[in-house]
Structure 1
Amino acid sequence: MTAPAKRPTLIGDRTMTLKAVPFFTQLNDRELDVIRTLAVEKAYPRTAVVLTEGEMGDSLYMIQTGKVKVFIGDEDGREIILKILGPGDFFGEMSMIDKQPRSASVTTLEASTFHILSHSAFERAVEQAPRIANMVMRVLASRVREADRKIGTLALMDVYGRVASTLLELAVYNNGKLMVGEKLSQQDLANMVGASREMVNRILKDLSDRGFITVESKSITIINRELPPSL
């Protein structure tokens, strides 16, 4: 029996995908081609474990297609979701640079493909295109600032405010509607804001009753962006 043909990946397509990654938006085509030739492409099915908190690692993952959740576990084995990431996003950058254990776990929410750049490949890329190092430093600094801002903002909010803020952060426009996609469950949302699923369910019901959102079986639509910070 003849093995099924693998889907070809066009150089132009990969270059355009890499250009969507914040690290590389300001690189020219030659510099992007350096990254393209050194990065490895890998596919994972839905619910696959990509990275495990505490394991050693040295690679950066850039999402080409699909969606993942980044999370840490507490002492009781519960998940605290740090981020939901999609195409153009990236993770694993700290271990790529310092080769230290992973600070969080990552699993796929749907079938996903990644461009993977190892520490040694990154060093070779910088040798061939030194400007890449500057781009990486700028993006890392931006991420630290964003994390500090988010921590400061959420620390001042109660659970109601954290749910409202997280919904707005996750929402994207789809056919003219501002929606939180079907891949996020109420338990995932609870894990993101540090609350019980029951509490999140009550808050979503209140927001729906007050006309700010509509909740369907697989998605949430935001009708009014001015979500209230509390009851």
Structure 2
Amino acid sequence: MTIETLRRLPVFAALTPDEAQSICDRSLRRRYRRGEFLVEHGARSEALFVLLNGRARVLQVDRRGREVHLARLRAGDYVGEMSLIDEGSHSASVRAEAQTDVLVLGRAEFSRLMPEPSSLAYGLMRGLVQRLRSANQQIQSLALLDVQGRVAETLLSMSESVGTERVIREPVSRTRLAQTVGASREMISRVMKELEARGTVRIQANGWLVIQQ
């Protein structure tokens, strides 16, 4: 790949000629057939993947094996950057929808082009990645889970571990819970009553909510 071709990709447009040449020298070009996965949910990323042509689909699979499509990627789009920045795992899978050529930039070269880990810029980037992961998780929850599942997931995320139980040390607002999971307050009240009736959750006299594990 030439420097000129590389710098036509939006993610590399601001690179200096030396930086662009370094990426040309150290990156790989990989071809994925239709149906092959570029990245898989839960795996750690060791590279940045930039689509040069073709197209790919970002997807998740629910508990029943049903695919939920979250986004479509085309030439110029990229994946894997969040995992390279915060060293977390992929929050979704990406599958080629047609023959797709991808530029693969390894972790070492990616890190060389990034700000120093101790810098303010890097700290801000990690913070943005965490916010994006949180937003992605909420979007996926809305797409993959029913209301009861979304309520349970939200309660777990609000709780802390105390012995064999999970505890929320403050009153849980039905209105705020409804806004978080995208349901009516009436539906939330019904779901909470069902969870209490099954013994999944209980409200203590001090207002704490206890989740049985």
Q: TM-score, normalised by structure 2?
A: 0.52
In structure 1, distance between residues paired with 2:4 and 2:18:
12
1:25 has 2:22 as partner: no
Distance 1:85 1:91 in 2: 9
Shift of 1:36: 1.8
Distance 1:106 1:72 in 2: 9
- Which residue is 1:177 aligned to? none
Shift of 1:113: 0.9
Superposition CA RMSD, Å: 3.3
Q: Which residue of 1 aligns with 2:64?
A: 76
Secondary structure at the aligned position of 1:121 is classed as helix
Amino acid in structure 2 at the alignment position of 1:45 = R
- Distance in 1 (CA, whole Å) between partners of 2:8 and 2:93 is 23
Asked if 1:45 is matched to 2:27, the reply is: no
Secondary structure at 2:90 match in 1: coil
1:163-178 alignment, distance < 5 Å: none
Q: Deviations over 1:135-167 (max 9, x none)?
A: xx5xx77x95xx79xx6xx99xxxxxxxxxxxx
Report the counterpart of residue 50 of structure 2 in structure 1.
62
Once residues 78 and 21 of structure 2 are traced to their aligned partners in structure 1, the CA distance between those partners, rounded to angstroms, is 18
Q: CA deviation at 1:29?
A: 2.3
Aligned to 2:24: 36
Q: Distance in 2 between matches of 1:89 and 1:120?
A: 21
Structure 2 SS opposite 1:65: coil
Q: CA deviation at 1:126?
A: 4.1
Give the partner amino acid of 1:32: A
Measured in 2, the distance between the counterparts of 1:96 and 1:38 equals 17
1:120 equivalent to 2:127? Answer no
Q: 1:35 touches 1:125 (CA, 8 Å); kept in 2? A: no
Distance (whole Å) between structure 2 residues aligned to residue 84 and residue 49 of structure 1: 14
Contact 1:97 1:119 in 2 (8 A): no
1:7-40 CA-to-partner distances (Å, cap 9, x unmatched) read xxxx42xx33432333222223222112222211
Aligned ranges 1:211-230 → 2 under 5 Å: none
TM superposition outliers: structure 1 runs of 4+ over 4 Å: none
Distance 2:46 2:87 in 1: 5
Matched ranges for 1:77-156 at <5 A: 77-126=65-114, 137=125, 144=132
Higher alpha-carbon Rg: 2
Residues 61-70 or 114-123, more deviating: 114-123
Cα distance in 2 for partners of 1:37, 1:96 equals 20
Would you say the 8 A contact 1:34–1:125 is kept in 2?
no
Q: TM-score, normalising length from structure 1?
A: 0.48
**One-letter code aligned to 1:118:** G
Structure 1 pair 72–91 and aligned structure 2 pair: CA distance change class (3 A): same
Give the share of equivalent positions with the same residue, in percent. 33
Cα 1:125–1:33 change in 2 (3 A) is same
Q: Distance in 1 between matches of 2:28 and 2:41?
A: 22
Mark the runs of 5 or more structure 2 residues left unpaired by the alignment.
116-120, 144-213
Partners in 2 of 1:114 and 1:55 — Cα distance? 18
Report how many aligned residue pairs link the two structures. 131
